[in-house]
């Protein structure tokens, strides 16, 4: 996702942009989905892979899924390829079903390999930074920066 923000920022100020920015963003996304999603028979993105793309930590963390949704939305915005909308919806459906804690509020920080709430990595509720970002990013342009875009949208009207 960050490669796409860099590309958009360069375009915005009239700089040449190398084609590898979008290509590498697509390849990183593809590889992470291929090797990280549903690798052990349960949906979700495992937390870590080794150098041979084997799952090491099979827990699913909230921030990984929120960032994956944001990346899918950025790739959809940049390429208009339907596969990214499919992934975006897949990640949000997973978050809706497994991470959002309707009983105690907020989100569960982590899930075990069977997608049950867990506290093996660390206990407690996460901050909502990643979830908040995942909600905002699809609504904002890739450039300017998120802070600049929010400032422009919320600037008071002048007389």
- Note the pLDDT of residue 124: 87
159 located within any domain: no
Is pLDDT larger for residue 15 or for residue 153? 15
77 located within any domain: yes
**pLDDT band with cut points at 50, 70 and 90 for residue 151:** confident
- Domain region containing 101: 2-154
Is the pLDDT score of 155 beyond 80?
no
Report helix, strand or coil for 57. Answer: strand
**pLDDT band with cut points at 50, 70 and 90 for residue 158:** low
**pLDDT band with cut points at 50, 70 and 90 for residue 128:** confident
73 located within any domain: yes
Compute the distance between CA of residue 58 and CA of residue 117 in angstroms, rounded to an integer: 13
Residues making up the chain, counted from first to last: 159
123 located within any domain: yes
Report helix, strand or coil for 55. Answer: strand
- Note the pLDDT of residue 156: 61
In the block, tokens 């690798």 appear at: 39
In this predicted model, what pLDDT tens digit does every residue of 51-85 receive, in sequence order?
999 999 999 999 999 999 999 999 999 999 999 99
Is pLDDT larger for residue 64 or for residue 122? 64
Q: Using the 8-state DSSP alphabet, how is residue 45 labeled?
A: B
Q: How many domains is the chain partitioned into structurally? A: 1
57 located within any domain: yes
In this predicted model, what pLDDT tens digit does every residue of 107-121 receive, in sequence order?
999 999 999 999 999
Q: Which helix (H) or strand (E) holds 130?
A: helix 129-136
Q: Are 64 and 128 in contact (CB under 8 A)?
A: no
**pLDDT band with cut points at 50, 70 and 90 for residue 32:** very high
The CATH number that applies at residue 112 is: 1.50.10.10
- Sequence-ordered alpha helix ranges (H) in 2-142: 2-12, 20-36, 62-79, 82-94, 129-136
24 located within any domain: yes
92 located within any domain: yes
Q: What's the pTM?
A: 0.91
Compute the distance between CA of residue 149 and CA of residue 52 in angstroms, rounded to an integer: 39
**pLDDT band with cut points at 50, 70 and 90 for residue 157:** low
Dump strand ranges (E) for the chain. Answer: 48-49, 55-57, 60-61, 110-111, 117-118
């Amino acid at each position: 996702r960050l490669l796409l923000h860099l590309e958009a920022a360069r375009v915005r100020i009239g700089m040449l942009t190398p084609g590898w920015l979008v290509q590498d963003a697509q390849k990183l996304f593809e590889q992470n989905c291929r090797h990280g999603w549903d690798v052990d028979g349960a949906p979700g993105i495992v937390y870590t892979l080794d150098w041979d793309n084997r799952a090491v930590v099979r827990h699913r963390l909230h921030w990984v899924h929120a960032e994956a949704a944001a990346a899918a939305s950025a790739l959809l915005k940049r390429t208009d390829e339907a596969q990214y909308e499919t992934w975006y919806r897949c990640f949000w459906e997973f978050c809706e079903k497994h991470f959002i804690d309707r009983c105690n509020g907020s989100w569960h920080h982590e899930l075990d390999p069977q997608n049950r709430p867990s506290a093996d990595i660390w206990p407690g509720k996460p901050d909502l930074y990643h979830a908040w970002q995942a909600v905002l990013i699809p609504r904002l342009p890739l450039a300017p920066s998120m802070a600049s875009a929010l400032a422009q949208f919320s600037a008071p009207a002048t007389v």
